[in-house]
Structure 1
Amino acid sequence: MESLANLESFVRSAELRSFSAAARRLGLTPAGVSRNVAALEANLKLRLFHRSTRKLTLTEAGERFLISIRDHLEQLQMAIADASTEQAKPAGILKISMGPTFGIGYILPLLPEFMKAYPLIRPEWMFENRQVDLIAEGYDAAIGGGFELAQGIVSRPLAPAHLIAVASPDYMRNQVPPTDPSSLAALDGIVMRSLRTGRITERQMRNAAGELQTVSLKETIILNDPAAMRASALLGLGVTLIAKPDALPDIESGRLVRLLPSWWVDAGPISIYYASRNLLPSKTRVFIDFVVEHFEREGYPKRFAGSLG
């Protein structure tokens, strides 16, 4: 009977195309993963991988073996995880990445209640405007929008990531209110330069009728951080496009006004990203469920929708 450790080392190495990446995922050393795979090959009397200094690829026999065992391995892991979860309380360091504005505004306030419910979990939360590599950097989960899903990474949507046009009442007092997205070009614009591409981010606004219009804001101020864009709008420097959850407290207080309430930019969902649906550590599983339940209870999916002006 082949050991579970050998089979798991093989499957993760095949999925990630790397012993080192598989080792980070499994909490082992690269040498340990390599030994497990070598033991599996010796027991099966099959060569499962072509190895080189630059890459790891499956042999034809390896491809067939992966197809035949992957689903069964996942089911076995899930059964083991469910059994162990019932016995042990969630514990350990919970390393999460999230954007500063959204994370501090909507996730950090959940921490007192979460720590009271799960006192053995130690939060290690990073607030950063970048897409992290969950596996390589050792994160349990990340919260944000627009992540590119690498192999082995899944997401659970929390709410829509809709951008809306906002400005301060003081700024708009001396301006002609825009009537459609194209008329935003007449106002001072606070625009975003993408950290990834180095270009000014171009947006398309849509309405409930399905009409689309490209937004070309005047490049009066160029920034690279959504929090700075919001702060600039609050200072009365112009109009900007920011995520509705970031703008919502200021709209509700009257410090910002929403322009073109029938139009919004659909930037996809705000989601929780994590490494696998199966064999999740209990600390990660309870955190995901806790956040999802809170968002549903507070009605955030509807409140964050730009379609609801």
Structure 2
Amino acid sequence: MKTIIQVNDLRKEFKSYSSRSGLKGAFRDLFTRNYKVLEAVKDISFQIQEGEMVGYIGENGAGKSTSIKMLTGILTPTRGSVLINGMNPHKEREKFVKTIGVVFGQRSQLWWDIAVQESFRLLKKVYNVPDEDYKEHMDHVIESLDIGDLLDKPVRKLSLGQRMRCELAAALLHKPSLLFLDEPTIGLDVLVKMKIRRFLKEMNEKYKTTILLTTHDLADIEALCERVIMLDEGRIIYDGSLQRLKSNWGEGKQVQFEFTRHVAEEELYNLSHHLQVEWTQGEREAVWIASVEDDEQVISQLISSIVSSYQIRDIHLKEASTEEIIRNIYEEGIKSHG
């Protein structure tokens, strides 16, 4: 399989200058400045293969944005190497940018005061896209993202959701092999998010577009990515499948029972004491939630015991969400690979 992104021991340091106090201090600052070195990214390494959709996650200040800027050629690394599509992003910038697409949720690549389709035409010339390729590809993109009615509108008159769909179309105008998405669904409503996720899946399947997705909305990760790379304080603390992350760090499962009548907590413990179940009262009086280890046999025994002893109105089985698992990892301060 073709390697699209190759990162080896990537590091980025910034100098933070401080001023001395008083007139003497100001005079001394003219000749020598006090500074300390801040390590934003600390020797990270990873590979991403063609067609992968990878979630790149971490808390604010974890080093996500800095590393993405190095991968896209905006920042030069202090140390280490980046190869994307066989190119060095900051040394071969002009050639490199023609092979990638970028969508930053807080920044626009569209011209603010002109119609969307005029922005598309300008980008078509920038990327030297042939007329035939442009028409065939963009007709499909415009239809999939449902932006046909927006093409004649100036970008400044679009809602956030409309603009983000147009930004995505612009980023894919030249059929890049790699797409960087930084918070692409921030502030969008559920229906627009679903439309964007469905479109990204389609592009990935049709063109084998490799996608690196940075987001705080973990529903995006669950909907699109099988693999996640998690950063904390500039280091990678997890790189692997989303499913393995859930298996390793998910704290069991919960089974919610809704009884047809009130049931005492003592009765439930007496019935399930051999299964090490933790019971908590639900929002309604007849609802109890059993927290139990993630073991099919244990869960089956629990459900069988309860159903054979009580009349049940409803049963709901749920596992810990990705959001809960990741929050637990950060709270516990785990600094090793899962």
The higher radius of gyration belongs to: 2
Same fold, judged at TM 0.5 (above):
no
* TM-score normalised by the chain length of structure 1: 0.29
**Structure with greater strand percent:** 2
